[in-house]
Amino acid sequence: MMSDLETNIDALLVDQPRPQPAAVEYEYQHQQPRSRKQSFMRKWGPALVAIAGVIALNFALIGGPSFSNVPALNEKQLFARKLGAERTAAVEAMDFDFEKAKLDRKMGRNRNFGSRNLSESDGGIMEYTRRRHRVLGDYVHEDVSDQFTAFGKWTVSIIYFAFWVFLMFPNWFLPIGRPGIALGGGLTMVVYRFILYSFGHGPVFDAEKVIILEPLFLLFGLMLTTIYLEKMERGGLFDKLRNSLDDPVNWKRSWKIMLMSTIGSAAVMNDSVVLIFSGVVVDLCVRHKVANSMPYLLSLASTANIGSAFTMTGNPQNILIVSLAYDDISWTEFLMNMVLPVLGASLVNTIMVFLWYGQELFPGSSGIGEHLAILFTGRKTPEIIALENAHQAKLAQNPVEESGGWSIWSKLQVLIAAIFLSCFALGYDVCVVSISTGCVLMVVNAYKHQHYDPREDLTEYDAEGNALPPKRMYDMDGNEIEPEEEELITESETTLTEVDYGLLLLFMGQFLLIGSFDDTGVPQAFFAFTMGDCADQMTSVPCVYWFVMIITILSNVASNVPVCQMLAATFPYATPYDWMQVSFSATIAGNLTMLGSAANMIVAFQAAKVGDRSFTSERHAPFGIPSTILSLYLGTFILTSIHFAPECSEKLGTCEDEYYQYDNAAEYYQYGDDAAAGENQYYEQEEDAQDYYN
């Protein structure tokens, strides 16, 4: 009996796998983590607490739904409102054929007329008024909400929110994908709006006008540029950028991604950064065989949105804000106001990433205390040491060949990329710059492919590896047929087919959905209803914190660019400080949900294209909600406390001290009413307000 037992034990020992080295064993465990399903409260608890906390904070500040703690408008605010009303009335009284101007611009005539190039001397005060935002047509659409019936508004809103849910959770329904859902929703909206118009429930839907072409041109140019930077040369600029982000230690790799994304988004634009580096981040995750790529993709997407708030060229809504602002805002002024709040938001987001994904980024760590020790004292857990050893062992097995320096093609890539970034920084049209850069790289790559790349080896071999002689072909008379000259493969057959046209369709469909929803006036009505008594002092304490929450909701429901359009039309005389608050809140709010910003959608789409579908709405929201709320409110507090932008409008005249020499607003208004009859020194010797403003 003992011999049988010993035999069984020996057999079991023989079947046992040999012990592996620590590095290899840890790497295997790192690839195959134990699946542990989180409970609902563990997953969504922080998000629910953050939502409840921000609602309670705002109600405490403003005094609940009655807005009892909101102070009455002061003299300065009343004065600014009166001046704005006067200026709008003066512009509406101008004798100018706006419809003819619109037609001329559409037909290519009178190109000097437009919101981008209309000078103050040519257009008078119209350049800085509601007429500019309502009529000239750049980025904005006319208010047609009064042409809808209640039935039309409700049904369009229902269709929009239905497709919003489909886009947010595409895996809950048929496997169509976000581009197909967005395009289907856009076409559904076009057809339904035609039905509404036919039965008198709504106006004509100008679908062409709501599709903003600039982001589509920009994305196409950036995709073209990215593809050629990556494909032109192995070991070139793109591979060097990828290697610069690589690190065997997880938290260091995440930190490098966040740093690169923040700086790149501020220098160029967040959409371009995530488009270029989404594939790089996924490639790094595959290289290190990480089980969960979500921390690294979130590091890229979240910091791209936050970093883009630094500058006026960091994202589309900032560019729009600067173009629609009543007062001029310089690049340096914008940056100076945003430095401190964006740094605060970046700090909060970094801490949240390291805390939320501490198990993945600090393997073997026992908790927050050890996280801090690893970050600041250089402490290493056995698992981190194993990762470093595995990385070194891999390098020893596959040594990286030392390149002989930068080739001529790598130098060309650097030169073209430097010119590309310089044109971005100098303020040239980003669409023209990106497409032109892609075309230049296409020509360079085609020349390299034709004259320098080695030809494909078409030699056939036998089973033993010996080269077979080329086949000879003969005609019916026994004459040898000369082989035709090899036909070169064109760029249209190779690289151009790699452009992600599905992403362009995704944005086109979203433009149609959002444009139709905005036509109903529902977002504007929601803003007016929820702001209440804070509408005329939206960036004053305590209203600014309530305003930030409303902008966050609208930015995730109706998108941040249409929200900025709506505010420009509703508050045409907003001060530079007002726009700073709008820019910061609309940008940081993009991290709340997947649909909050275009950068999130691009990261998810680009990652899915290379096989990584971990970046989903269900996994993004539990982290995005608490992180965004904390980042947003800390940054808003800093911006409210420390800012350099004026809280008045120089062009409206609310910054001049002599306007406040009266004891109260009523005295000034009485004086203004008498002056309007001819006694006001500012209207003196002028026939009407139009002459004065001109």
Helix axes 617-641 and 543-557, enclosed angle (nearest 10): 150
Closest-CA residue to 442 (of 500, 495, 493)? 495
Q: Is a pLDDT exceeding 80 seen at residue 308?
A: yes
Does some domain include residue 30? no
CA-to-CA dists, residue 9 to 17, 18, 612, angstroms: 14, 16, 44
Q: Is the dihedral of CA 623, 222, 557, 322 positive or negative?
A: positive
Does some domain include residue 332? yes
Does some domain include residue 326? yes
Does some domain include residue 588? no
Structure tokens at 477: 């008379």
Residue 496: strand, helix, or coil: helix
Task: Give 467's strand partners.
Answer: 461
- Angstrom distance (rounded) from CA 469 to CA 617: 58
Residue 586 is predicted with a pLDDT of 92
Host domain of residue 253: 214-394+408-445+494-498
Angle at 418 (CA atoms; ends 414, 419), nearest 5 degrees: 120
392 contact partners, CB below 8 Å, separation of at least 6? 248
Q: Is a pLDDT exceeding 70 seen at residue 111?
A: no
Place of tokens 């930030």: 548
Residue 456: strand, helix, or coil: coil
Q: Is a pLDDT exceeding 90 seen at residue 686?
A: no
Cis peptide upstream of residue 542 (ω within 30 degrees of 0): yes
Question: 0.85 cut: is pTM over it?
Answer: no
- The count of other CB atoms within 10 Å of the CB of residue 228 is 25
* Cβ pair 355, 368 in contact under 8 A: yes
Q: How far apart are the first and last CA of the chain?
A: 112
- The count of other CB atoms within 10 Å of the CB of residue 203 is 16
* Cβ pair 217, 541 in contact under 8 A: no
Can you list the pairs that 43-50 forms with residues at least 24 positions away whose Cβ atoms lie under 8 Å? 43/622, 44/622, 46/622, 46/625, 46/626, 47/621, 47/622, 47/625, 47/626, 49/626, 50/625, 50/626, 50/629, 50/630
Most confident residue range from 292-306, 368-382, 493-507, 508-522: 292-306
Residue 538's H or E segment, with its range, is none
Q: Is a pLDDT exceeding 90 seen at residue 112?
A: no
* Cβ pair 510, 559 in contact under 8 A: yes
pLDDT in tens, 147-164: 999 999 999 999 999 998
Determine which of 24-28, 46-50, 203-207, 432-436 has the lowest per-residue pLDDT on average.
24-28
Closest-CA residue to 268 (of 423, 465, 391)? 423
Q: Is a pLDDT exceeding 70 seen at residue 667?
A: no
pLDDT in tens, 378-397: 888 888 888 888 878 877 77
Determine which of 76-80, 224-228, 422-426, 441-445 has the lowest per-residue pLDDT on average.
422-426
Structure tokens at 287: 């290289």
What's the one-letter identity of residue 175?
P
Can you list the pairs that 239-245 forms with residues at least 24 positions away whose Cβ atoms lie under 8 Å? 240/410, 241/277, 241/280, 242/280, 242/283, 242/284, 245/277, 245/280, 245/281, 245/284
Last residue of a domain, one of 458, 479, 498: 498
- The count of other CB atoms within 10 Å of the CB of residue 287 is 12
The CA radius of gyration of the chain, in Å to the nearest whole number, is 31
In this structure, what are the phi and psi dihedrals at residue 636, rounded to the nearest 5 degrees? Answer: -65, -40
Determine which of 42-51, 95-104, 176-185, 561-570 has the lowest per-residue pLDDT on average.
95-104
- Angstrom distance (rounded) from CA 83 to CA 63: 30
CA 112 to chain centroid, in Å, comes to 31
Determine which of 336-350, 428-442, 540-554 has the lowest per-residue pLDDT on average.
428-442
185 contact partners, CB below 8 Å, separation of at least 6? 159, 160, 163, 166, 167, 509, 512, 513
- The count of other CB atoms within 10 Å of the CB of residue 154 is 13
What's the one-letter identity of residue 355?
L
- Angstrom distance (rounded) from CA 133 to CA 141: 8
CA-to-CA dists, residue 520 to 111, 141, 367, 523, 548, angstroms: 31, 12, 51, 8, 23
The overall average pLDDT reported for the chain is 77
Does some domain include residue 191? no
pLDDT in tens, 523-581: 888 888 888 888 888 888 889 999 999 999 988 887 787 788 778 777 778 889 999 99
Q: Is a pLDDT exceeding 70 seen at residue 5?
A: no
Does some domain include residue 668? yes
Does some domain include residue 592? no
Residue 314's H or E segment, with its range, is none
Residue 690 is predicted with a pLDDT of 41
Ordered DSSP codes for 46-89:
HHHHHHHHHHHHHHHHHTGGGTTTPPPP-HHHHHHHHHHHHHHH
In this structure, what are the phi and psi dihedrals at residue 485, rounded to the nearest 5 degrees? Answer: -65, 135
Does some domain include residue 388? yes
SS3 for 581-631 is HHHHHHHHHHHCCHHHCHHHHHHHHHHHHCCCCCCCHHHHHHHHHHHHHHH
Place of tokens 């900032």: 318
pLDDT in tens, 12-38: 444 444 444 444 444 434 444 444 567
pLDDT in tens, 450-494: 777 776 666 677 777 777 777 777 777 777 777 655 556 677 767
Q: Is a pLDDT exceeding 50 seen at residue 137?
A: no
Residue 467: strand, helix, or coil: strand
Place of tokens 């089980």: 291
* Cβ pair 672, 621 in contact under 8 A: no
Q: Is a pLDDT exceeding 70 seen at residue 319?
A: yes
Residue 52 is predicted with a pLDDT of 94
Ordered DSSP codes for 251-299:
HHHHHHHHHHHHHHHHHS-HHHHHHHHHHHHHHHHHHTT-S--HHHHHH
Residue 634 is predicted with a pLDDT of 95
User: Per the structure, how many domains does the chain have?
Assistant: 2
Helix axes 213-231 and 501-519, enclosed angle (nearest 10): 160
Last residue of a domain, one of 498, 516, 531: 498
Last residue of a domain, one of 474, 498, 522: 498
What's the one-letter identity of residue 685?
Q
CA-to-CA dists, residue 550 to 384, 396, 505, angstroms: 43, 56, 29
Stated length of the chain: 694
Determine which of 200-204, 336-340, 510-514, 622-626 has the lowest per-residue pLDDT on average.
510-514
The percent of residues above 70 in pLDDT, for the chain, comes to: 77
Task: Give 474's strand partners.
Answer: 480
Residue 687 is predicted with a pLDDT of 42
- Angstrom distance (rounded) from CA 303 to CA 318: 16
Place of tokens 């508050």: 571
- Angstrom distance (rounded) from CA 391 to CA 24: 10
The mean pLDDT of 645-660, rounded to a whole number, is 74
